[in-house]
Structure 1
């Protein structure tokens, strides 16, 4: 048997990089972000603190009008790896990486060329809500977009494989999108509608195998769906954000909602559109009228966006929502760079504009790294620095001097979540948790920001069976790590075991 020549890891890595540098860039980038942000972070921000409060608590649904997938993944990761910022960042950047990679392989399975798929993937870094906000603070939007990207990849694979297994994975992928973020339903409507509009894909979707798609989807979402029906107050906890019927005028509120959809849709993809326009203009001498017709994959991708946006338009029209924020469109428009790459690939003779589009996306990704570090360490929210930079270790030391507590209760997740970084055995409870008062176990620490008694904390205390208001409220001033001259006052009281 001939000897197999030895290849050093560096040689293997060089081969991988030469074959698929865009994929390698995405993987290395997000792995770096996990370790870099873990190293420089002092504590968790509001969204990540919410996840820390739920780690280890697997339920069919959670509070705050949020779908459960992101919290499930964090909970499982926390059980396996421990409660830490590393685990929180591993989940976030792992999901982001999976979204990018799913877009690439989904595009390739649909027949798009490697340059188009690579440009469409790296072009996602030109979407500020993903390249910046998702890395900086968002959680459930990351999960929703990842779920939609998995559904897109599963659809592309099913169109290629047409097997019972790929049908089951498509059903699971569609369920992942909905369980990741409820507004992902608009993308999923666009996905299925676009598939049915393309004859080649409609022939696959209208077979008996789609029964498996439907059954797997229903089985995957049924427990959370039933939970949601019995906890409608948690589902609608943040419905005020949509400003439904704002102003009391049936027509005006809807017109305002449609205007915000148009405006924020353009703003969401604005950077990608700008660089697409530059690439298009610079390549005007190489533009052509393509001789080949649109492929099934190309038509399908463009129609996903059109049908998904149409679904949002109808949703705003029916609900009367006067507010449509740009971050809510993340699961709907994350494929927009891929559609722009398709246009560059079809109407320009060379791959140069696609390469430029991809390189600009990679450069923007690299620019985020120092920007995110500065934001995390030194940015200010109005007059106050980042809330993640508070001295939570001091709060833990001061409150532990009162006695050992099993539960930390607050009106929000910020303080319980960050205290849990210092003691993973703490049972965190905050206002948005379903059945919050029943979760309290004594001895318990009740804690909140500010000087006076917090009404929500008092209601939780009363809900736990203690009617008398506390008389032993104490205070501690916590400094910010990089702004020690500034402090935030935290009030607390300790309730011993009954």
Structure 2
């Protein structure tokens, strides 16, 4: 390896232990903030609460691993904000710690602490991940563990490590499909860097893809059984931001979105880098180093795949978080390419990142109030707890809830964790006492008609309405029908 010599003062082991403890405290604090906020949940997490009712090989347009793991956490601690926060922050800790361990091999302990801490400056990982991300977080955490495993394989080649890398590749593909960008990038870089190729691409290289494919096969069978359902939402997102027109316009629009996604992914990370690198002689670029070439080809192969998709004219819209499983290691790649001339740079970075972490935690803690002050209606302040009390009072013996969409379904199940929640489209197949709810909670959004099934006996209907906590002028509204459903006739 081309690791930079340790340049820190004091005990390296003490520095490592301190950083791991601080990292753990940071994510425990995130869990505490989430518990104190309570309230409703955002879209991605609501979907996980809804999907976690059943074990499936896939869920609509997403692979199943996050939902499986979330369901296990719910089984242990209950369907709750605590269960959501524990799962998410475990995955975040795995990502930060894995990148730290990888960076220690290349930069030393102090540099590794800076690289790992720098992830909070990436918006999708520092801010959005704590608000409402799920699959992308897990895929990126698996990417971090994969990169760590890859570098340990380079230092200590073995069949066991090759198999472990295959397991991680399989888990990554079961987390989110765009994890494939990371796999392509890693495979390309290991081929194009001669020093890595001699270690990785031996006669045992088949072990990694074989193990990965074995893990993915059951989900792949599910995927191809209903490929139209599994790809419809993804294709829709690929065309957001502009209706498909001519091939040339599609490509230009896709390239613009691609460039903006790359720019936004690195912002505001460049701020602490600029602060740390002020001075006459901050450091010297290392153009020919093995690790520099590895990270260059890692990003080039992955991003080249995205560019190729853009050139087909089918990929018009690109969100920065889609690149997250590939680009999470950018802070490490930067420091490998441009190592500082002294530890002063690292220490400046740590001070800057520490101050930013305080600001970030404070902003997350007061997010509902900040959003309300900006005139936005935060979903987490929709009064589902008040709605639940009203439902429990008026309909104490509900057997099944039938709702308009998964956002409502997740929030209803969060309030009534012991009750099944289905979509309105599936209501006719239910039996017993069913409360049908139409609407997404916002009073100015259209509501779909409530189903009239042959086996339904309507006992009552009307509206349920509760005022928003932070927006008294806004009301959470649902049309409802209270029905008794006989077993569906065959």
Normalised by the shorter chain, which TM-score bucket?
A: 0.7 to 0.9
Q: Any residues of structure 2 matched to 1:359-398 within 5 Å, and which? A: 359-380=351-372, 385-398=377-390
Which residue matches 2:58? 61
Of 174, 185, 210, the residue aligned with 2:169 is: 174
* Aligned equivalent of 2:400: 407
Structure 1: distance between partners of 2:253 and 2:314: 9
- Please point out which of 242, 245, 262 is paired with 2:238: 242
2:26 alignment counterpart: 29
Q: Find the partner of 1:489 among 457, 477, 482.
A: 477
- 1:349 maps to 341
**Whole-angstrom distance in 2 between the partners of 1:468 and 1:39:** 41
Kindly indicate whether the alpha-carbon contact (under 8 Å) linking 2:166 and 2:212 is maintained by their aligned counterparts in 1.
yes
Instruction: Give the deviation of 1:250 after TM superposition.
Output: 0.6
Q: Which moved more, 1:131-140 or 1:20-29?
A: 20-29
What are the superposed Cα offsets for residues 231-285 of structure 1, whole Å, 9 maximum, x if unpaired? 22331232212118834201110121012111220121021123323433x1333
Deviation digits for residues 158-207 of structure 1 (CA, Å, limit 9, x no counterpart)? 22232222111100111222221111211221111111112222123222
Deviations 1:289-340 (A, max 9, x none): 66xx744333322321222111111122225221112222222221111112
The answer to whether the 8 Å contact 2:261/2:318 transfers is yes
Counterparts of 2:318 and 2:285, CA distance in 1 = 37
The offset of 1:382, in angstroms, is 8.1
Residue 419 in 1 paired to residue 412 in 2?
yes
2:272, 2:353 within 8 Å by CA — same for their partners in 1? no
Larger mean Cα displacement after TM superposition, 146-155 or 372-381: 372-381
Task: Say if 1:203 and 1:497 are closer, same or farther in 2 by CA, change over 3 A.
Answer: same
1:332 matched to 2:329: no
- The CA distance in 1 between the partners of 2:429 and 2:156, in whole Å, is 47
Q: Measured at CA, do residues 53 and 253 of structure 1 come closer, stay the same or move farther in structure 2, by a change above 3 Å?
A: same
TM-score by length of 2: 0.88
Shift of 1:403: 4.9
Q: Which runs of 5 or more structure 1 residues have no equivalent in the other structure?
A: 1-13
Q: Secondary structure at the match of 2:104?
A: helix
Deviations 1:418-465 (A, max 9, x none): 22223221112237xxx956874543221132679977564xx46xx5
Report the Cα distance in structure 2 between the residues aligned to 1:164 and 1:121, rounded to whole angstroms.
Answer: 29
Structure 2 counterpart of 1:38? 35
* 1:35-93 CA-partner distances (Å, limit 9, x unpaired): 22112222222221111112242211002x22222111101111122111001011111
Q: What is the rounded CA distance, in whole Å, between the counterparts of 1:276 and 1:163 in structure 2?
A: 37
Deviation at 1:384, TM superposition (A): 5.3
CA distance in 1 between partners of 2:54 and 2:358 (Å): 35
- What is the aligned partner in structure 1 of residue 86 from structure 2? 90
Which of 266, 269, 273 is 1:269 aligned to? 266
Q: 1:304 is matched with which residue?
A: 298
Q: What residue number does 1:7 align with?
A: none
Secondary structure of 2:174's counterpart equals: helix
User: 2:174 & 2:141 partners in 1: Cα distance?
Assistant: 11
* Structure-2 residue corresponding to 1:358: 350
- Asked if the contact 1:56/1:76 (under 8 Å) is kept, the reply is no
2:41 aligned counterpart, secondary structure: coil
- The aligned counterpart of 2:199 is 204
Which residue of the partner structure matches residue 80 of structure 1?
76
Greater shift, 22-31 or 188-197, is seen at 22-31
**Change over 3 Å in CA distance of 1:120–1:15 after alignment to 2:** closer
Are the structure 2 counterparts of residues 455 and 485 from structure 1 closer, same or farther at C-alpha, using a change threshold of 3 Å?
closer
Q: Deviations over 1:364-383 (max 9, x none)?
A: 22211111122134524985
Residue aligning to 2:421: 428
Matched residue pairs, number? 471
Unaligned runs of 5+ in 2: 1-10
Q: Secondary structure at the match of 2:120?
A: helix
2:436 to 440, 446, 454: 446
Does structure 2 conserve the Cα–Cα contact (< 8 Å) formed by 1:116 and 1:354?
A: yes
Q: Deviations over 1:104-141 (max 9, x none)?
A: 112334x4322332222111111112111111122222
Residue 104 of structure 1 is matched in structure 2 by: 100
**RMSD (CA atoms):** 2.8
Equivalent in 177, 186, 190 of residue 185 of structure 2: 190
Relative distance call for 1:415 and 1:156 in structure 2 (3 A) is: same
Once structures 1 and 2 are overlaid, which stretch shifts more, 354-363 or 133-142?
Answer: 354-363
Aligned to 1:47: 44
Indicate conservation of the 8 Å contact 2:16/2:109, yes or no.
no
Preserved CA contact (<8 Å) 2:95 2:141: yes
**Residue of structure 2 equivalent to 1:140:** 135
For 1:4, the equivalent position in structure 2 comes to none
